Amino acid sequence: MAADVTEARSDGRPHAEQRRRGPLVRGLLFVLTALVAGAGGVGGTLAYQRVTAEDTAAVDAQADRLAEDLRADLNVGFYSPGQTYGGQFTEGTLVAQTEAHGGVLLSSGTTPGGPGGRTHTMTVMLGLVPPETGTVDAHAYPVRCYRYTFAVGTYSVKKAAVDCPAVRSDGRPGSLVAQMGALLAQQSTGASRRMTTAGYPHTARGAVDFLRDKRLVAAQDTVSEVSGGPAGGGVDVFALRVDGTCHYLRMDSSSTASRLVPLWLAPADEQGTCDMSQARAASALYGIDPAKAG
């Protein structure tokens, strides 16, 4: 199925400024500080950071905490035959955890092989927002990128620092760091919150009603380009834009769905296309059931 739903804003004021979280805006000042010396692009920004900030301990600590969060998710149900082996979560949880540690999901994917028959990969950019506790000088909190791989079980999580992409994900001139900072600030107000979608029809109109009733989008936000369809098992998925920024919505009325994140910011490399096939892949549950697997 495919449908378009567009709703006008209630006023003409800039939507992003109205809904940005205070701590997030303050945190993004770190990014702006770094960009002052790197106006020529992300290469200049990162070079500036390497010269002025050799200490990466703070952002590396955030990366370690993200790995621990992932291991905790994979541990859920690990010793529970008949239950989800490796926890129950989707890409929405990965996005929520990355944001909680001051970053953005750049890309994610799955390849055959490894324990459980599949290996998952996600690449993130951290350092866009400083830790919530303590004081970290902007020069001592550089933006860094990391790649995580995992399969099933806590032992499968691997983390490695990688070079950040040298260009924006949309191919336009400018800084990737600034682009990702703006993307993080422009996400929907209620993105990355766990809740159920029970009680709402799995249609384009039902999707928009859910977002507005649960205040996952602000009253003045425009929801557009809504396209969706079934993903199997009574689940429907939607790709949609909230004031131009791509989000994925997973509608699942099962009793366990309240533990999942129904709405999340699409990865940076999928912001341009924002289609239902990508939303369907992103909505798949990680983990397997050992009882069904034999």
Output the six-digit token pair for 289: 């059931």
101 and 93 Cβ atoms separated by less than 8 Å:
no
Q: Which band of pLDDT confidence, cut at 50, 70 and 90, is reported for residue 13?
A: very low
Does 3 fall in a domain? no
For 60, the token pair is 């590396």
Q: Which residue has the higher pLDDT, 46 or 216?
A: 216
Tell me the average pLDDT across 218-231.
93
289: closest CA among 122, 113, 76? 76
Angstrom distance (rounded) from CA 118 to CA 109: 10
Kindly report the average pLDDT of the chain as a whole number.
77
Within-domain flag for 5: no
Q: How many angstroms separate the Cα of 240 from the Cα of each of 18, 53, 200, 237, 280?
A: 20, 39, 17, 10, 12
By C-alpha distance, which of 201, 248, 181 is closest to 31?
A: 181
Q: Is the pLDDT of residue 130 over 80?
A: no
Determine the average pLDDT of the residues in 1-20: 36
pLDDT band at 266 (very low <50, low <70, confident <90, very high): very high
pLDDT, residue 87, reads 61
| Residue 145 DSSP one-character state | E
pLDDT band at 258 (very low <50, low <70, confident <90, very high): confident
Q: What is the DSSP letter of 199?
A: T
Residue 144 to residues 54, 62, 90, 167, 267, Cα–Cα distance (Å): 12, 10, 24, 14, 17
22 in a structural domain: yes
| Domains held by the chain: number | 1
Q: What is the pLDDT at residue 240?
A: 97
For 66-94, the pLDDT digits (tens) are 999 988 887 655 444 444 445 678 899 89
3-state secondary structure of 287: strand
- pLDDT of 118 reads 81
Which position has the higher pLDDT, 48 or 183?
183
Determine, yes or no, domain membership for 286: yes
- The DSSP output letter for 174 is S
What is the per-residue pLDDT across 142-156, written as a single tens digit (0 to 9) for each?
899 999 998 877 788
Residue 82 lies in a domain: yes
Q: What is the domain extent for residue 19? A: 15-293
Q: In this prediction, what percent of the chain has a pLDDT beyond 90?
A: 45
Q: Which amino acid is at 232?
A: G
Q: State the pLDDT confidence band at 44, using cuts at 50, 70 and 90.
A: very low
What counts of helices (H) and strands (E) characterise the chain?
A: 9, 10
Structure tokens at 10: 């209630």
205-214 burial code (b ≥16 CB/10 A, e <16): ebbbebbeeb
